[in-house]
Amino acid sequence: MADLTAYFTELAHERRRNPTDDLATAIANGMPGGKLISIPDAIGYFIISATAGHDTTSSTTSAAVWALAERPQLLEQLRAERGA
């Protein structure tokens, strides 16, 4: 977490100094309630954005493998359809 915090702190400051057309700029320069987002809050959004895809992908992949392991007929159907 310390490495992520350091990286995203620098990124937030960089995007405030030199905004670009990307998500990092939108987060670093966000104005919730009309007030510039704090660096700690921006870091929180950066971490959520960076890790959310990992959780979703790993959970979906493991659930699919589990389902196929419990239902071998589905695995065979998937193999047959892949070749079609």
- What is the rounded average pLDDT of the residues 8-19? 98
68 in Cβ contact with 78 (< 8 Å): yes
Q: What percent of the chain has pLDDT over 90?
A: 75
Q: 19 to each of 7, 37, 39, 57, 62, how far by Cα in Å?
A: 17, 15, 15, 30, 38
Over range 14-27, report the average pLDDT.
Answer: 98
Flag whether pLDDT at 51 surpasses 90. no
Q: 53 pLDDT band (50/70/90 cuts)?
A: confident
Quote the domain boundaries for residue 45. Answer: 2-83
Mean pLDDT value of segment 57-74:
93
pLDDT value of position 84: 57
Mean pLDDT within 48-62: 87
Q: How many domains does the chain have?
A: 1
